[in-house]
Amino acid sequence: MNGLRCITCQREFSLNEPIWRCSCGGLLNIKFVAEFPIDIIQRRKPTLWRYREAIPIESDQHIISFDEGFTPLITIDFNGRLVLIKQDHLFATGSYKDRGASVLISKVKELGVNHVVEDSSGNAGCAIAAYCAKADITCDIFVPATTSTAKLAQIEMYGAYLHKIPGSREDTAAAVLQAAETNYYASHSWNPFFFQGTKTIAYEICEQLAWQAPDTIILPVGNGTLLLGVDIGFRDLFQAGVIETLPKLIAIQAEYCHPLALAFAQDQSQISSIIKKETLAEGIAIAKPIRGIEIMEAVRRSEGYFITVSETEIKTALYEMGRKGYYLEPTAAATIAGVKQYLCHQETEETIVSVFTGHGLKATQKIMDLL
Ligand SMILES: *Cc1c(COP(=O)(O)O)cnc(C)c1O
Ligand SMILES: [Zn+2]
C-alpha cells in the first residue's frame, strides 16, 4: 500500500529504495496513509514531529530534528483586513525549508546513505547542509555564483562542500544533475520526501485553527515545495476525516519570472520557456519548475488562481513589513505583495492564511542596496 509511485509510468517502488526518480526518468510521489490521533498529538512537544503518524519515517531513532516547527500563527492587519501569517522565517536556518530537510535527511539516515548532493538558490542548500551536519552526513551543495553572500556563508559554516556555479539557476541545476548520476540527490524539487516535511505546515495551521481548514491560503511558487506540501497536507487531513473542506490555493509569482502564472492563464498543460529577468525574489525565480504541471493541477483543483507581483510591489511590501516589526528577505515580501493584491480582488469575509517564508538576515546586502 505505502510506497513510491512514478507519475509518468505509474511504476511502484518500496519507500526503502534509495532512489530519487523512476528508472524511466519520471518524478516520484509518495503514497502513504497519514493518521492523526488528535489526543496524543496535543500532548506531544510543539514541533512538526508531533504529527508522527503522518510522516513516513519508520524508526524514531533515525529522526534528525532541531525540535523545529509549530511556528506562531499571528494576525496582521492590512488596512482593516485581518490575515493570519505563519512565521516560518523563524526556523533554525531562517526559512521554512527546515520542514522538508528534517524529514528528507531523516529518510537519508534511515536508508543508510552517507553522502548527498543538492542544488538551490540558497535556502534549501542552507537547510540540507544544517541537517546533514546534525546527521553526520557529507553533502555537496551547488548554488548559482550570484547567491546572497549570507546564504553562502551559512552553507559553508555547516561544513558542506559549496560549489558556486557561474551562469543561471538552470546552469546550477544541470551541474548537480551530473553529480546526482552517482550520488543520492537530496533535492527539494525532485525528492518526494522533502514534500512530506513541507506538508506539516498544513497540519499546524489546521491545529492552530482548532482543527479547521482556512478558506484561502496564499503561497509563493518557484518550484512549489511549499504549495505542493500544503496541497498534500490538507488532502491528508481531509482523507483522515479531520477537516470537511479544502482551502483555495492562491499562488504568487514574480512578474519577472512567472512561467506558471502564464501557462495557467493560457490554460496550457505545457509550460513554455520564458525569458526571466533578475528579480528581488531570487528564491522563487525558477524558469522551468520540474513539478509545474502538478502545481497547476493543485491550484486548479482547489479553485484557486495565480497572481503576479511587480518589483515595486515587492519592495513596498518589504518596507511595510519592516515598519510593522517583521524583517523579511525580499523573496518572502513577494508573497505579502500577493496578499495585498488578493485583498483588493476579494470583498467577502473569509479566513486567509499566508506565510513569512524567509528571514531578512538572509539578504543583508540586497536590503542594504535597497536602502
Ligand atoms: C524556497 C523559498 C520559497 C518558495 O520556493 P519554491 O521554489 O516554490 O519552493 C519562498 N520563499 C523563500 C524565502 C524560499 O526560500
Ligand atoms: Zn516511471
CA angle 33–39–41, rounded 5-degree value? 60
Task: Please report the pLDDT score of residue 91 as a whole number.
Answer: 98
Distance of alpha carbon 143 from alpha carbon 362, whole angstroms: 15
Task: Please report the pLDDT score of residue 271 as a whole number.
Answer: 86
Distance of alpha carbon 294 from alpha carbon 309, whole angstroms: 22
Can you list the residues of the chain whose pLDDT is less than 50?
none
Looking at the CA of 280, which ligand is closest? 1
Nearest-atom number in ligand 1 for the CA of 227 is: 8
Residues with CB under 6 A from ligand 1: 95, 97, 123, 220-226, 283-284, 286, 329, 331-332, 357-358
What is the gyration radius of the CA atoms in the chain, in angstroms?
19
CB 315 within 8 A of CB 280: yes
Task: Please report the pLDDT score of residue 122 as a whole number.
Answer: 87
Task: Please report the pLDDT score of residue 147 as a whole number.
Answer: 86
| Unique residue bearing C-alpha cell 485583498 | 343
Task: Please report the pLDDT score of residue 258 as a whole number.
Answer: 96
| Unique residue bearing C-alpha cell 520526501 | 193
Task: Please report the pLDDT score of residue 146 as a whole number.
Answer: 87
Task: Please report the pLDDT score of residue 274 as a whole number.
Answer: 85
Question: How many Cβ atoms are within 10 Å of 156's Cβ, its own excluded?
Answer: 13
Task: Please report the pLDDT score of residue 24 as a whole number.
Answer: 97
Task: Please report the pLDDT score of residue 223 as a whole number.
Answer: 96
Alpha helices in the chain (DSSP H): 38-43, 97-111, 123-135, 149-157, 169-179, 192-198, 200-208, 225-239, 259-265, 292-301, 311-323, 330-345, 364-370
Centre of ligand 1 from the C-alpha of residue 53, in Å: 26
Question: How many Cβ atoms are within 10 Å of 350's Cβ, its own excluded?
Answer: 11
pTM, two decimal places: 0.97
Question: Model confidence over 58-86: pLDDT tens digits?
Answer: 999 999 999 999 999 999 999 999 999 99
